[in-house]
Amino acid sequence: MTIYSTMPLELVYDGINHQPGPYVSIKIGDVQLQIESVTPGVGRIVRLLDGPLDAYLRPELSPGTLIAFGHPSS
Instruction: State the pLDDT at residue 12.
Output: 85
Instruction: State the pLDDT at residue 51.
Output: 94
Instruction: State the pLDDT at residue 71.
Output: 58
Task: Give the residue among 22, 20, 30 at the shortest CA–CA distance from 50.
Answer: 30
**Total-model pTM:** 0.68
The strand pair at 31-39 and 23-28 is best described as antiparallel
Torsions phi, psi for 56 (to 5 deg) = -70, -15
Interval 21-61: pLDDT, tens: 789 999 999 999 999 988 888 999 999 999 999 999 999 99
